[in-house]
Amino acid sequence: MSASVLLVFAQHEVSGAASHAPQWANLQRSAVDSYIERETPIAWNALLNNIGPCGDCVTGAACGIVVARPCKSDPDYFYQWQRDAALQGQIPSIRLHRGQQEFSHEIQQHSQAQAILQLIWNPSGDNGEAWGLGEPRFMVDGFIHSWFQGWGSPQRDGPALSAIAFIQTHSWLKDMGQAPHAKLIIWPIVKNDLTYHGQYWNNSGQDLWEEVLQTTFFQIAEQHSALLEGANFAFLSGPQCISCDQAPQVLCFQGRFWKGHQCYNSGRPRSGLDFNCELGSIQMFDPKAECDQIQFQPHRDSALANHKVVQDSFRYHGCNNGHQWGDAVAVGSYPEFVYYNGMPWYLAIQAAAEQLYDAVYQWQDVEWIHMGIQSLVFFHADVLTSAAGQYTRSHTTYQNIHDAVKTYADGFVSVVSCAKYHPRNGTLHEGEHRNDGKPDSASHLHWRYAALLCAIHSRATQVPASWGEACATSPGVCTAIEQSGHYSTAHNQSWPSACSQQHHRQTPCHCQHPVAYHFNGIQQYGEIYVLGTIPALGNWRDWGCHLRADKYTNSDQIWYSIVQLPAGERAVYKYIRKWEGRVDPNRLTQVQDCGQDHW
């Protein structure tokens, strides 16, 4: 039963069927609770193991560098992606403000790395004036030199996300009685990032999916949040932030992405629907936001309506077969996406849950729920059976809607946790195949684990501090004003010893290695497979992995397949001919431990 149907029951108290809803919701909630208990330490461990130099999976990474993925093939993401690194920095900051300091050592090292990266010229640089702060990724070795091989750049959201994370760290240092150190260590890094956005906020960059040059809602939303938070921070703490004066103009332009109840991002050959709007909404989340429509907070009419429209655009993927209309489904970046056959992304699925958890938190804070004309498309899943209205916490409808939306959010977590092919060791891949739901593309991507932890935190009401959304203002007329500023070097990175506590990892690394299977012989194309005792090789039940023939020649009849297997895995396997059964006897694969490639 879908959460949207539950909402209709909440309004009309349908007899009989409604009585089954609480039981179904409780079963799902219990399953999600169990999954979170199992997966949380795995996700934290995966994040830590991707940070140099102590990460178990990233041998050779420099101090404080956050590696996007600990593998160097299929695909090679062994570098620091600025967006991923900044989002990772926001998660421990939430724990710092709750008095949990176990990751302060990693935050300290990351600030030192960022101070170095801001000095490095790269393809996104502008005559040395902005040092290329929009560069999306950097190599991870001790020199931390920039990536020079044509990756889509610049990407305008990275500095904003970094500024948001470090402002949170700055606030924590002040709370620790270390205000002078905060001003010397953190503020110079933040000021450079904010200066960049004051200068370039109205310039296009590569979109979130690194395919087209455009301005996206996510980019504008992050820039506004960073500039407004920077302005509020500067007002309370003393440092000057001239670039932050651009925040109202950025907010004004942010509204131009919305048409009715949909957020559109133009860019051929796309329809305009794009998950970056939902990612922007959760990144703008302020637990103390006012309930007006200036901003697009998770609980507001436009954001909820857009959530519904985007989810529906993915319902026709084969992996979503069997889901009722209105159920949580596997979602991806945008409907026309073609990378890896347009697979749904785990970060998008978890972010869909996070937006709804954030909305529930905001309703709890203001103690009422507003159902506007726009958001009825979300609340009733196209079954428009009740009028718009406002329901206070004392009203039965408030509690019914509150519980149903939280159940709906749990449904997105269940899409991942209950997936037929979800690895038992908790590994998260980039996404899943759009037709059959099998994990697809890169494993152990940093952002996937970060997205899961963000959703878990929101579900548990462990939310970040307010960033001042209530102070947001928007002019009547939008004006594209740019503010050039001065960039300076963050020289001082000597942290006080009282603020550095190193975390000791308690669980082993769950990285994977590419394993190559080879078979030599004259066969017809499509006949040879490798089959084995583990899920990646078919569990002896299906055809396993098809061997490729793109290296096959008359003189070298080689068939091969490269399969990602968990570190330390042992597997029995054999080669089979599709129509005639086994080709040879059983063999053994022993995968090397983390940090060693196995071929």
Is 580 a residue of the active site? no
Residue-level pLDDT at 516: 79
Catalytic-labelled residue, pool 39, 157, 207, 312: 207
Q: What is the mean pLDDT of the chain?
A: 79
In tens, the pLDDT along 437-474 reads 888 888 888 888 889 999 999 999 988 888 888 888 88
Q: How many other CB atoms sit within 10 Å of the CB of residue 547? A: 21
CA distance 232 to 221: 17
In tens, the pLDDT along 361-399 reads 999 999 999 888 888 888 876 334 456 888 899 988 888
pLDDT at 6 over 50: no
Q: Which residue positions form the known binding site for substrate? A: 151
> Any residues with CB less than 8 A from the CB of 493 and at least 6 apart, and which?
111, 112, 115, 185
What is the value of pTM for the model shown? 0.80
Lowest mean per-residue pLDDT among 49-53, 431-435, 507-511:
507-511
CA distances from 179 to 162, 190, 193, 238, 450 (A): 20, 15, 20, 11, 29
Read off the pLDDT band of 580 (50, 70, 90): low
Angle at 521 between CA 517 and CA 522, to 5 degrees: 130
Beta strand residue intervals within 357-402, DSSP E: 368-371, 389-392
Q: Which residue positions form the known binding site? A: 151
Tokens representing 389 are 């209205």
Residue-level pLDDT at 218: 93
Residue-level pLDDT at 383: 35
Instruction: Estimate to the nearest angstrom the gap between the alpha carbon of 328 and the chain centroid.
Output: 18
Residue-level pLDDT at 127: 44
Residue burial 80-89, b: 16+ Cβ < 10 Å; e: rest: bbbbbbbbbb
Is 207 a residue of the active site? yes
Of the candidates 229, 226, 236, the one whose C-alpha atom is nearest the C-alpha of residue 174 is 236
Q: Which CATH architecture fits 512-590?
A: Sandwich (2.60)
In tens, the pLDDT along 23-57 reads 556 667 788 888 898 888 888 888 888 888 877 77
Angle at 573 between CA 46 and CA 527, to 5 degrees: 110
Catalytic-labelled residue, pool 210, 211, 365, 527: 210
